[in-house]
Amino acid sequence: MINTKMNRSGMKKYVFLMLICFAITASFSQPMDMLDIKIGQMILIGMPKAELDQKVLEEVRKGKVGSLIFFEKNIPNKPNAFASVKNMTWTYQKAASIPLFICIDQEGGKVNRLKEKYGFTRSITAAALGRYKSLDSVRFYADATAATLAGLGFNVNFAPVVDLAINKDNPIIAKPERAYSANADTVAMMAKEVVKMHRKYGVITSLKHFPGHGSSKDDTHLGVADVTNTWSEDELKPYKLLIDSGYVDAVMTSHIVNKNLDAKGYPGTLSKDILDGILRKRLGFNGVVFSDDMQMHAISKNFGLEETIRLAINAGVDIMCFSNNIPGSDERTVDKVHAIIKKMVSKGEIRPERIDESFQRILLLKSQMGNKDVAGYKAEVARLQNQLKLQVAESKKPALEIKKEEPASEPSKKKKKSKRN
């Protein structure tokens, strides 16, 4: 179970990643604040083009962002884009001291970033798989998807959708055929096979859209979607079944409004009653919670950026997604989001302990992903650890001793500094 229990191997990887975090602080001429690193792990950002973004790459190097997301606009428009995409994911990953979550929405069918025209394998909709009523078909397509993602360097797929196809006219779930069925048991059964196939290749999955988007009449990309009078308890059932059976790596929120679940009318992403009260306490999920895109108009047209960030983190969101992919929304940069969170922590609007909770969940999930590139960090981490040991040893020397030896050791100290730079 990725999100609730940790075996001996997982513990080793977790400790390894913790060492990386401490090592990062020693890798810069001006050491980063540990809070900066923790905040960076809570930010997921989208890039503008189908090429390496040098600004984002630098932010990755600095540890100011912990997750990236690719959309179709990031896939080179050429018959065989595989090598280009792999080069981008590999370059970003190589620049990170803590392994990145490199994410994509590859549900299949309509929500499909890796299309056939770019040289990728064919996919079909969840609804089509639901009509076939064949778990073999679900496994076949999920296996092909997961293998492709792993080969390209993606380690998080924002799938499967576990919304129920309750409203056949739902413009964002049922009409694009993103839901397997209106039956909760069928949805859970098929989603479980998708998770299994992704785990086979070390790719993390994220169930969506909590607490259920299937009954809505509106699209949260465009504005408010209120399901107060249409939502049913049955929409929680796939989450409950999959959490209890250990097949939930992560969960993505929805921006739906449900005043029966949150009397103040906050969207799911910003609601402590929904995320902490229902998902954490009632359903017992202790893993990573991703927000849906914070630039969707259900959020961005009704809440200011600072208010959105404060509410989301305090509600229980661990990683906030800013895709820079929604028409009509303002660009959100890593620096801007990072600065807002840090300011709110310093002002007491977000508790440091709340940041720590997310950081620990994120590290635990990253420690258990099957990212083969993690092995490549070992030499760098060993070097950084040695630097850290030297710094710690220096800091423990008595002040009198340091002062006494200062004139004699001045040339060697300069030498060390130039070496480090």
pLDDT tens readout for residues 279-310: 999 999 999 999 999 999 989 999 999 999 99
For residue 385, is it within any domain?
Answer: no
Model confidence pLDDT, tens digit, residues 93-132: 999 999 999 999 999 999 999 998 898 888 999 999 999 9
Euclidean distance between CA atoms 153 and 165, whole angstroms: 32
Banded pLDDT at 33 (limits 50, 70, 90)? confident
For residue 309, is it within any domain?
Answer: yes
pLDDT at 147: 94
pLDDT at 368: 81
Residues near 408 by beta carbon (within 8 Å), at least 6 away in sequence: none
Banded pLDDT at 31 (limits 50, 70, 90)? low
pLDDT at 328: 67
- DSSP lists the bridge partners of residue 108 as 111
For residue 154, is it within any domain?
Answer: yes
Euclidean distance between CA atoms 61 and 183, whole angstroms: 45
Q: How many CB atoms lie within 10 A of CB 271?
A: 28
For residue 406, is it within any domain?
Answer: no
For residue 415, is it within any domain?
Answer: no
How many domains is the chain built from?
1
What count of Cα atoms within 13 Å lies in the side-chain half-sphere of residue 247? Answer: 21
For residue 113, is it within any domain?
Answer: yes
Euclidean distance between CA atoms 386 and 215, whole angstroms: 56
Model confidence pLDDT, tens digit, residues 332-356: 889 999 999 999 999 999 999 999 9
Taking phi first (over 0 means left), then psi (-120 to 50 degrees means alpha), and beta for anything else, what does residue 63 get? left
For residue 96, is it within any domain?
Answer: yes
Please state the pTM of the whole predicted model: 0.83
* CATH value at residue 219: 3.20.20.300
The pLDDT mean for the chain works out to 85
Model confidence pLDDT, tens digit, residues 159-197: 999 999 999 999 999 999 999 999 999 999 999 999 999
pLDDT at 13: 58
Q: Over 80: is that where the pLDDT of 258 sits?
A: yes
Banded pLDDT at 12 (limits 50, 70, 90)? low
Euclidean distance between CA atoms 376 and 354, whole angstroms: 31
Model confidence pLDDT, tens digit, residues 190-213: 999 999 999 999 999 999 999 999
Banded pLDDT at 9 (limits 50, 70, 90)? low
- Domain residues for the domain of 121 are 8-373
For residue 249, is it within any domain?
Answer: yes
